[in-house]
Amino acid sequence: MNPSLAVGIDIGGTKIAAGVVDTDGRVLARRDIATPVGDRQSLVDAIIGVARDLASEHSVDAVGVGVAGLVDRAGEIVRFAAHLPLRDEPLRRELANALELPVVVDNDANAGGWAEARFGAARDAQDAVFVAVGTGIGGAIIIDGQLRRGWQGASGEIGHLIVERDGRPCPCGSRGCWEQYGSGRALLRAAEAAGLEAPHGAVVTAAAAAGDERARAVLRDIGEWIGVGIAGLVAVLDPEVVVVGGGVSAAGDLLIEPARASFRTYLTAKGRRPEPSVVLAALGPDAGLIGAADLARAGLGA
Amino acid sequence: MNPSLAVGIDIGGTKIAAGVVDTDGRVLARRDIATPVGDRQSLVDAIIGVARDLASEHSVDAVGVGVAGLVDRAGEIVRFAAHLPLRDEPLRRELANALELPVVVDNDANAGGWAEARFGAARDAQDAVFVAVGTGIGGAIIIDGQLRRGWQGASGEIGHLIVERDGRPCPCGSRGCWEQYGSGRALLRAAEAAGLEAPHGAVVTAAAAAGDERARAVLRDIGEWIGVGIAGLVAVLDPEVVVVGGGVSAAGDLLIEPARASFRTYLTAKGRRPEPSVVLAALGPDAGLIGAADLARAGLGA
């Protein structure tokens, strides 16, 4: 097989990260641009622009796009994206026509989870759950070696497990969703309640790393809530590995150790059932673009 | 293809239900015996006895067994069963040797869910969740047309989703498990709290059907909790259908209507994502043996 390169593009609410990725998941070239969120055409043009830019420098076979939004199962339509000007957009076809290359579009957490399953912390597992702790909590579900998308492509919205009935209201319209307790947004809320000046999560992590006890307690609280949700997911799915990624996972052991301890506390039938490992993601912020590129390559039948 | 018959056996904590099942999921002959729970040999002998009895009357190709317990992924070992004298038992091999027929062993909820997916309320769906509301809550997960067992065969323990952190203690060792709020055991607890004389769930159902307002309120409460857990499962798995079965589902609309209403209340992103139907199981108490028989036939490569 010839070495095959693909462009991977990870479209978040603030940033578009793009790169050229090889078959081993290595990123050979990299671009970051601000996400134009004013109107759909500026966003689509920006995606096309960064893809053309990378494709002009490398011979690529396909383009994969991960979008922070709900993508239909066929990967044709971006149905809804909370922080992007995309509503029922036939994005895949438009990009494929403009780029004259095969294009695959998927949810960004699916892309990140797939990257961890192929090249990262779950690379030896056939059954894995990816927990992407960012502003909210996204996820991806790998069962029997395949990314599973559900009936209409909406699976993996794990941040909306109910962990407290009638608990904190969630912008999704429900209450008590896991991401109201174990996400970056919850982290900032807890930091504020603890009297910490923290305009974003990295400030809390830095303070905790420097030994600030209040910051450590905040990360411990968030980590424990992450463990509660993981315990439920493990009861339902019995994965071999649970990979915790996303921006908040940059806190490392200060987050994952309390998450692990809490997971063990809330896991059903301890000692009488298999216990998966709960590990940090290996690919960092590049996971989304690496996975998108690999999904695009898989779409070629490679 | 010749018409193929299989024996299906559903082993519960109090009753063993067995039958001869054809390729359309019809039960041609039926046996019910009390489960011997004193020692493993009596239990194994009873299983062999009922299988031989049915196989002597019908020409069967295989035997399927559903066990209320944790079965390893290969279907060889029953690791643990809370209400049966089975611990790390190589049940499949022992039965196959004694019966001189191909034998398949699986979890009882997996068997019941598979029956609903093949012949019952989810028969047109590739992605379905089976919620078995009995004493506790068991489950089965069908994704892309296949029963999914997880890493070690322990998936589908949906009754141990945490719906209230640090909520009611569960015999499983955790707290706040869904089955402490939405199961037959929870029903009896709620009935007692409401001042109803209810030695078992069927009494509550009968009273509710006869118009008893307290009994109706109890079923409504349990149904609403069932909806909470279903909302979480749907966020994670995006099934086309959620099938509610198990003994408590005999309450019918008095249970499923509040479950549906509550599911819609707690579902994430209503109106912006696919909404599965939440329906009652179609096969009743025979689901487990029908599914076990069909899994045994599937094991033949049929």
How many cross-chain Cβ pairs, A to B, lie less than 8 Å apart?
A: 176
Nearest to A9 by CA among A61, A50, A69: A50
Measured in angstroms, the CA of A269 and the nearest CA of chain B are apart by: 5
Point out the residue among A154, A175, A238 whose CB comes nearest to the CB of B151.
Answer: A238
Tell me, yes or no, if the pTM score tops 0.95.
yes
Do A236 and B165 lie within an 8 Å CB cutoff? no
Secondary-structure breakdown of chain A: helix, strand, coil percentages, each rounded to the nearest 5:
40, 25, 35
Find chain B residues with C-beta within 8 A of A153's C-beta: 238
The continuous run of DSSP H or E covering A11 comes out as strand A6-11
Find chain B residues with C-beta within 8 A of A70's C-beta: 269, 272-273
Measured CA distances, B272 to A67, A250, B38, B112, B268 (Å): 16, 31, 53, 32, 9
Do A161 and B232 lie within an 8 Å CB cutoff? yes
Do B228 and A274 lie within an 8 Å CB cutoff? no
Name the class of domain A125-281. Answer: alpha beta
Mean local confidence (pLDDT), B124-145: 96
pLDDT of chain A, 302 residues: tens digit per residue? 456 999 999 999 899 999 999 999 999 999 999 999 899 999 999 999 999 999 999 999 999 999 999 999 999 999 999 889 999 999 999 999 999 999 999 999 999 999 999 999 999 899 999 999 999 999 999 999 999 999 999 999 999 999 999 999 999 999 999 999 999 999 999 999 999 988 888 999 999 999 999 999 999 999 999 999 999 999 999 999 999 999 999 999 999 999 999 999 999 999 988 999 999 999 999 999 999 999 999 888 64
Characterize B104-126 residue by residue with b for buried, 16 or more Cβ atoms within 10 angstroms of its Cβ, and e for exposed: bbbbbbbbbbbbbbbbbbbeebb
CA distance B18 to B254: 29
The DSSP bridge partners found for residue B18 are B9, B31
The mean of the pLDDT values for chain B is 95
Report the chain A residue with the minimal C-alpha distance to residue B128: A151
**Positions of CATH 3.30.420.40 in chain B:** 6-111+286-299, 124-281
Do A161 and B236 lie within an 8 Å CB cutoff? yes
Do A70 and B165 lie within an 8 Å CB cutoff? no
Point out the residue among A151, A266, A276 whose CB comes nearest to the CB of B240.
Answer: A151
At the topology level, CATH places domain B6-111+286-299 in Nucleotidyltransferase; domain 5 (3.30.420)
Do B238 and A155 lie within an 8 Å CB cutoff? yes
Measured in angstroms, the CA of A40 and the nearest CA of chain B are apart by: 18
Residue pair B162/A232 in contact (Cβ under 8 Å)? The answer is yes
Measured in angstroms, the CA of A149 and the nearest CA of chain B are apart by: 8
Residue B302 predicted with pLDDT over 70:
no
Find chain B residues with C-beta within 8 A of A160's C-beta: 231-232, 235, 268-269
Residue B1 predicted with pLDDT over 70:
no
Find chain A residues with C-beta within 8 A of B186's C-beta: none
Point out the residue among A141, A162, A269 whose CB comes nearest to the CB of B163.
Answer: A162
Find chain A residues with C-beta within 8 A of B141's C-beta: 236-237
Nearest to A12 by CA among A28, A36, A29: A36
Do A162 and B232 lie within an 8 Å CB cutoff? yes
Report the chain B residue with the minimal C-alpha distance to residue A239: B151
Do A165 and B225 lie within an 8 Å CB cutoff? yes
CATH tag for B124-281 (out of 3.50.50.60, 3.30.420.40, 3.40.50.10470, 3.90.1150.10): 3.30.420.40
**Positions of CATH 3.30.420.40 in chain A:** 6-111+286-299, 125-281
DSSP-derived 3-state class of residue B228: helix
CA distance A231 to B163: 11
Measured in angstroms, the CA of A207 and the nearest CA of chain B are apart by: 28
Report the chain A residue with the minimal C-alpha distance to residue B277: A151
Q: Which residues contact A79 (CB under 8 A, 6 or more apart)?
A: A69, A70, A71, A72, A87, A88, B272, B273
Secondary-structure breakdown of chain B: helix, strand, coil percentages, each rounded to the nearest 5:
40, 25, 35
Q: What is the pLDDT of residue B75?
A: 97
Do A274 and B162 lie within an 8 Å CB cutoff? no
Q: What is the CA radius of gyration of chain B?
A: 19
Do B172 and A228 lie within an 8 Å CB cutoff? no
Mean local confidence (pLDDT), B217-221: 97
